[in-house]
Amino acid sequence: MFVGWLERKRSPLDPVVRSLVSARIAQMCLCEFCVDITSMKVAERTGSTDKLLAVADWRQSPLFSDEERLALEYAEAASVTPPTVDDALRARLVTHFDAQALTETDGIDRPAKSVSPF
């Protein structure tokens, strides 16, 4: 089910962005199965392992686009407890993503969190 969700053709998010966000959330949740699946997807969709190896340290890496950085920032902020999404981040998000894409980004963390050891 999770893999099918990642692979669906109709998504408001770019497949690379979706995979990067999924991989980062899987890392944060310490879900080894999710890390394996999403890592494979990042490598497949980007054509290399460069971004995959840098995703945990995306803030310092020059490999990520502005859109990817914003999506990763939002994913991290929304995935911690308590969430740290503030008004400034929301304002930046609406300039890059429509409501459908934001809703999807919110839902990406659900499968990894459901099997997280926390």
* CATH number for the domain harbouring residue 30: 1.20.1290.10
**116 part of a folded domain:** no
Average pLDDT, the chain: 85
Instruction: With beta carbons less than 8 A apart as the criterion, state whether 85 and 74 touch.
Output: yes
**112 part of a folded domain:** no
**118 part of a folded domain:** no
Q: Could you tell me the residue range of the domain that residue 42 belongs to?
A: 2-107
Token pair listed for 104: 């999807």
Share of the chain above pLDDT 90, in %: 64
- C-alpha to C-alpha distance for 74 and 95, rounded to whole angstroms: 13
The pLDDT of residue 27 is above 50: yes
CB count in 10 Å sphere of residue 22: 27
Q: How confident is the model at residue 7 (pLDDT cuts 50, 70, 90)?
A: low
Q: Please state the domain count of the chain.
A: 1
- C-alpha to C-alpha distance for 90 and 92, rounded to whole angstroms: 5
The pLDDT of residue 70 is above 80: yes
